[in-house]
């Protein structure tokens, strides 16, 4: 019997970082839908949150799942659903790029809190500052 436990923190943005999710009501509807869709697709989505133009997800990959495959399922279905149901004004699309980093078991609670507190976090820090901080802390190249 296979057993896999690989935690990944994912961040992806609306096309051109357009602030489509400009209210907490819109964010809640979209995040709840992403969670429901992930469950239907057997994606272990532990936490989902975000702010005006981006989404954070904490997932645990299954033995046959890849980061790109999971994101394709989440982003593809959610953009179709957002447009079909006219959740935001204008034509919605996700940016092709994403950010992903592994998370150790000992840091799960910290990441969960970070994802759930995005609204407060972005009162003092822009998305661009957040990305710069992520890249610096994880050794990424800007």
Domain ranges of the chain: 6-130
Q: How far apart are CA 124 and CA 39, in angstroms?
A: 33
Q: For 11-37, how does the pLDDT look when each residue is reduced to its tens digit (9 = 90+)?
A: 999 999 899 999 999 999 999 999 999
6-130: CATH class:
alpha beta
Mean pLDDT is lowest, of 36-40, 44-48, 73-77, 118-122, for 118-122
Q: How far is CA 137 from CA 26, 35, 53, 68, 140, in A?
A: 30, 27, 22, 22, 8
């Amino acid at each position: 019997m296979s057993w896999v436990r690989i935690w990944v923190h994912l961040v992806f943005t609306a096309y051109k970082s357009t602030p489509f999710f400009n209210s907490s009501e819109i964010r809640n509807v979209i995040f709840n839908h992403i969670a429901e869709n992930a469950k239907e697709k057997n994606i272990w989505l532990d936490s989902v949150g975000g702010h005006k133009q981006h989404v954070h997800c904490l997932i645990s990959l299954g033995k046959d799942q890849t980061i790109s495959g999971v994101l394709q399922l989440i982003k593809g279905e959610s953009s179709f659903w957002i447009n079909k149901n006219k959740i935001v004004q204008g034509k919605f699309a996700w940016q092709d790029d994403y950010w992903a980093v592994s998370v150790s078991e000992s840091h799960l609670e910290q990441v969960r809190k970070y994802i759930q507190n995005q609204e407060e976090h972005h009162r003092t820090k822009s998305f661009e500052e957040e990305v710069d901080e992520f890249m610096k802390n994880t050794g990424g190249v800007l």
